[in-house]
Structure 1
Amino acid sequence: MLQSGDGLRALTGRRVAVVGAGPGGLAAALLLARAGIHVTIFEKDPQVGGRTKTVEAPGGYRFDIGPTFFLYPQILADIFASCGERLEDHVKLERLDPQYHLVFEGAEGISGTIRATGDVERLEREVARLAPDDAKNVKAFFSENRTKLNYFKPVLEQAFHTLRSMASPAMLAALPYLHPGRSVDRDLKRHFADPRVRLAFSFQTKYLGMSPFRCPSLFTILSFLEYEHGVYHPVGGCGAVSEAMAGLAGRMGVDLRLNSNVEEVLFDGKRATGLVADGETFNADAVLINGDFAKVVRALVPERHRPRWRDAKIRKARLSCSTFMLYLGLEGKMPDSLGHHTILLADGYEKNIREITEGTLPMQPSLYVQHAGYTDGGMAPPGHTALYVLVPVPNLKAGIDWAAMRETYRALILERLKLLGIDDLESRIRYERIIDPTQWEEDFAVHEGATFNLAHDLMQMLYFRPHNRFGPGLYIVGGGTHPGSGLPVIYEGARISARLLIEELAGARAAAAAGIPDTAPLATSSEAS
């Protein structure tokens, strides 16, 4: 614990209630506890992590429920370091190489593949097998995006709770690299002529639930971040990270209350002063909400206390797509060609994405497969496989009757998996779970089943996204606030929210003294590993 200075003494005895033990809530709790604040987390489930948890199914199969890629661990490592701990002492992270296998479907079957790697020379050879001329531009793409990321990193680290922040020095310095009129795909055309190669550097926009043909060109940095800094697998699943954070929080004195249902946030005038959980009032100096913004904040915060995000605006907000999920426990092993992460990119990918955006269920969908047992033998019993299958689909605003389509779509996906060499699945299934968009909303409190939260278009980013400081004494973390979705970005958002909360309770000097770390200048590829 910090030695109290003038600012930190003002935090002694202060209490903060955190709603939700997802990645953002846990990260913020660590930082607040580090500053000397008494933190209580209220989590409705019997397990921490939110959608970033690993569940054990009958038969001994283990599955990540949501995120399976772990990117740029430096931010979380810095949070652990600020608490006097090393992330690597709590979680074993395996850097994947190849980081994933891209399979491109053509009119007559598979038209090509790329085994993506951070080894630039090997990556150039992979690209050259599809498009020799494009391979010559890989290094130029990396160089350009290295510069772009370095300019945007300070933007992603700052708060945007006032309009003046849109003219911050960091924002003004980054503006020349923003190109608001360009999509990711259009930006990539300056480097790569082959649409398959462009997809290798743009499918990552689906992490935001967006189309590369509409997503702002800023987000070419997503693929660069993977290639430059690596894709990792936390041994035991991404839930191991959440469990490690919760364990450290407990040792730091955080009170974690599982199976605790928060019913409302309480206010005195305009200020949040606590909450009601399971019928009991909990008074606090501030409340921090970690949950799907449009679902949870609307449920807990009366409309009069969110004047910038009233119900009508939330209903009109542009949302990400949803996903159709299969979690399969299989007898037997997978073909040797199936790596840890495999992405099948459908023939006519642009049409596929347009269908999702316009609310049509694609019948020749792209899909993603995680075979975690390729790297981590603890995800299934010996001789068995835990297979995770994700298919991007429209969110619930499309009005698709999932009760009627569920079995038909399941059969379609099993058929599509044959393109990856995964045959005779039906007879080998020993465990199966399906999550469709209706279940994302009903079972996981995801508004309209939009699994990647609010869309990340320019008018729902930065100042125009729900603010980290949502009101007096009220803060939010998670994919619905700045900087946005994705685990490293959510951890960054937790730092922003924690810093603002401490400033409100005790002043800027206390926030500076509270040990909330800034990430060092971006590591090189070798340092990040």
Structure 2
Amino acid sequence: MSRSVVIIGAGPGGLAAAMLLAASGQNVTVIERGARVGGRCSRLELGDYRFDAGPTFFLYPRIIEELFESCGFDFRKEVEMLRLDPLYRLSFMREDGAFDHLRLWSDPQQLAAAVAEFSPHDAAGLQQFMLDNRAKLAAFEPVLSRPFSRMTDFLDPQILKALRHLRPWASVDRELARYFQDPRLRLAFSFQSKYLGMSPFRCPSLFTILSFLEHEHGVWHPVGGCNAVIDVMARLAQRMGVRIELQQPVEEIVFEGRKAVGVLTAAGVHRADAVVVNADFAQAMHTLVPDALRTRWTDAKLASKRYSCSTFMLYLGIEGSVDLDHHTVLLAEKYADNLREIECGSAPPATPSVYVQNASRSDPTLAPPGHSTLYVLVPVGNLERGIDWARERARYRALVFKRLEAMGIQDLERRIRVEHIITPQEWASDHAVFRGATFNLAHSLDQMLCWRPNNRFEDLERVYLVGGGTHPGSGLPVIFEGARITARLMAEDLGFKALAPRQATALTPRTGAALIGACE
């Protein structure tokens, strides 16, 4: 029997769920408030320059490959992917203004050599880090691919076996201290906690698997940007019969008692057997669901939760080229102080860390000939402490430009042809992100697994969640996995047959033997 499903939001999770449900024979409509698909993973066009609005690192393609194949498509035929090597360059700014540079590579021999040159006494730790995290990922991947709705889920033998790798008392930084003495090297393998909007000094030790994923399975660039993957997903979903309605903000979810029966837009009520929420979780609860209908996730409870940091964004189309790697990260000279400023959130960081994507170096489709695109991201506090970004905007832009100049980008102001800025205030007001927290609920242990909003939303009937605000969490591969969990739960509840996962051709991993040889 075909069921009707309305999905609120055409972000990565919403489109992944739409593909899976349509492939199962369901009648799917995706309703998107914006003018294009993608949500925080959409495309930003400024004249002839194209940017990713949000994520720029594409990691662990195996999950999206499996998702495509289960729907009858070959991901590699639909999306041209470039594997980056080096993965990125890290620049550690010293207090005297000089830099220590470290390039990290996908190739095991080059990676081992770079680590040995940068911190000789830590070279041996690389081999053990890779071996331990390979085992950790193997143990936790099945855990993160299943739903969590109650404490008794932890009694599953597979989960109990995985928990021995968790080390809940340790942060990412403390965990890395088992392998690397040099604090700069620990930062090189922990700055990825910013993908979750968290500090490595607070982020649970589980997430050392983020940097491991980069080295084991590569950092990828889809030609056209990560947004190109989302555009392909939307096109294929429509080919499968999914209706996508743009510029249609959902005003509320329609209920009969506690059961969702559709959504209301300016065009009227869209009736449905189930509703999938792919909007920012906290913002959606405040705007789409009456507080009285929620029990566990009331407005008061949402206000008490911890949220990720936000970001100050610069999108620059410039004349000429820039001598930076595809991905470059400037790590503040007082990194711990920088993180405390972000967490405090009462003022923007005085000496910020800066991430720059110079994607035109690898992908000439993003800018006119002889021009470049620069994507600049600065982690800052969310809006909880009330920073006035209308007042701070110009001052902070000038500060960020000084950091870019210190990174070696010269004569930048004169070469700018287009420019766009997003502050935490715009994330909140224009992009409907609660408190401007671009990475959703923080990924602390008490806000993960069954303590995170469930994929089958526990407060309401026939309401399901996908996206970074639900289990398993933020990040594109994790969001795609969450969509698979949600689709399976919906099949159970609505009485249709879930897609049997079909194994895609796996990427060749960097084997333990290869890395051991490189480290000897």
The answer to whether the 8 A contact 2:7-2:28 is kept is: yes
In structure 2, the partner of 1:35 is 24
C-alpha displacement of 1:519: 7.5
Counterpart check, 1:188 vs 2:176: yes
2:431 is matched by which residue type in structure 1? F
Superposed, 1:43-442 pairs within 5 Å as 43-58=32-47, 60-335=48-323, 338-359=324-345, 360-442=347-429
The farther-off stretch of 274-283 and 163-172 is: 163-172
Counterpart check, 1:515 vs 2:515: no
1:352-401 Cα offsets, whole Å, 9 max, x none, are: 11111111421110010001101000111111111000000000012211
In structure 1, the partner of 2:448 is 461
Give the distance between the partners of 1:38 and 1:432, measured in 2 at CA: 41
1:263-296 Cα offsets, whole Å, 9 max, x none, are: 1111122211111121411111100010111112
Give the distance between the partners of 1:368 and 1:390, measured in 2 at CA: 5
C-alpha displacement of 1:127: 1.4
Give the distance between the partners of 1:429 and 1:111, measured in 2 at CA: 26
1:20 is matched by which residue type in structure 2? G
SS at match of 2:430: helix
C-alpha displacement of 1:109: 2.5
Aligned residues between the structures: 508
Give the distance between the partners of 2:126 and 2:97, measured in 1 at CA: 27
436, 441, 461: which one aligns with 1:449: 436
The answer to whether the 8 A contact 1:150-1:522 is kept is: no
- The list of structure 1 runs, each at least 4 consecutive aligned residues, that deviate by more than 6 angstroms after superposition, is 518-522
SS at match of 2:391: helix
Counterpart check, 1:26 vs 2:15: yes
SS at match of 2:330: strand
Q: Which runs of 5+ in 2 are unaligned?
A: 512-520
SS at match of 2:29: strand
SS at match of 1:40: strand
The farther-off stretch of 320-329 and 302-311 is: 302-311
1:339 is matched by which residue type in structure 2? D
Give the distance between the partners of 2:508 and 2:483, measured in 1 at CA: 21
SS at match of 2:275: strand
Give the distance between the partners of 1:522 and 1:57, measured in 2 at CA: 35
Give the distance between the partners of 2:140 and 2:434, measured in 1 at CA: 29
1:30-84 Cα offsets, whole Å, 9 max, x none, are: 00011110000001112111111122212x1111100000001111111110111
1:195 is matched by which residue type in structure 2? P
2:31 is matched by which residue type in structure 1? F
Give the distance between the partners of 1:436 and 1:56, measured in 2 at CA: 18
The answer to whether the 8 A contact 2:253-2:262 is kept is: yes
Give the distance between the partners of 1:431 and 1:411, measured in 2 at CA: 16
1:480 is matched by which residue type in structure 2? G
C-alpha displacement of 1:130: 2.0
In structure 2, the partner of 1:475 is 464
Give the distance between the partners of 1:197 and 1:15, measured in 2 at CA: 51
Give the distance between the partners of 2:433 and 2:276, measured in 1 at CA: 18
C-alpha displacement of 1:306: 2.4
1:115-163 Cα offsets, whole Å, 9 max, x none, are: 1112222112111222101112111100000000110101100101223
For the structure 1 residues 48 and 70, does the alpha-carbon distance in structure 2 shift closer, same or farther, using more than 3 Å as the test? same
Give the distance between the partners of 2:271 and 2:156, measured in 1 at CA: 36
In structure 2, the partner of 1:524 is 509
SS at match of 1:266: strand
1:309-337 Cα offsets, whole Å, 9 max, x none, are: 000011111000000000011111112xx
Give the distance between the partners of 2:196 and 2:508, measured in 1 at CA: 24
The answer to whether the 8 A contact 1:289-1:477 is kept is: yes
For the structure 1 residues 158 and 306, does the alpha-carbon distance in structure 2 shift closer, same or farther, using more than 3 Å as the test? same
Give the distance between the partners of 2:382 and 2:451, measured in 1 at CA: 22
The farther-off stretch of 31-40 and 263-272 is: 263-272
Q: TM-score, normalised by structure 2?
A: 0.95
Give the distance between the partners of 2:156 and 2:279, measured in 1 at CA: 29
Give the distance between the partners of 1:485 and 1:432, measured in 2 at CA: 28
The answer to whether the 8 A contact 2:316-2:419 is kept is: yes
Give the distance between the partners of 1:244 and 1:515, measured in 2 at CA: 22
Give the distance between the partners of 1:243 and 1:154, measured in 2 at CA: 29
Give the distance between the partners of 2:158 and 2:420, measured in 1 at CA: 46
The answer to whether the 8 A contact 1:103-1:110 is kept is: no
In structure 1, the partner of 2:518 is none
Superposed, 1:2-17 pairs within 5 Å as 12-17=1-6
The answer to whether the 8 A contact 2:18-2:237 is kept is: yes
| Seq. identity, % | 55
Give the distance between the partners of 1:106 and 1:328, measured in 2 at CA: 27
For the structure 1 residues 279 and 253, does the alpha-carbon distance in structure 2 shift closer, same or farther, using more than 3 Å as the test? closer
C-alpha displacement of 1:518: 7.0
Give the distance between the partners of 1:301 and 1:221, measured in 2 at CA: 36
C-alpha displacement of 1:28: 0.3
SS at match of 2:103: strand
2:190 is matched by which residue type in structure 1? S
2:401 is matched by which residue type in structure 1? L
SS at match of 1:165: helix
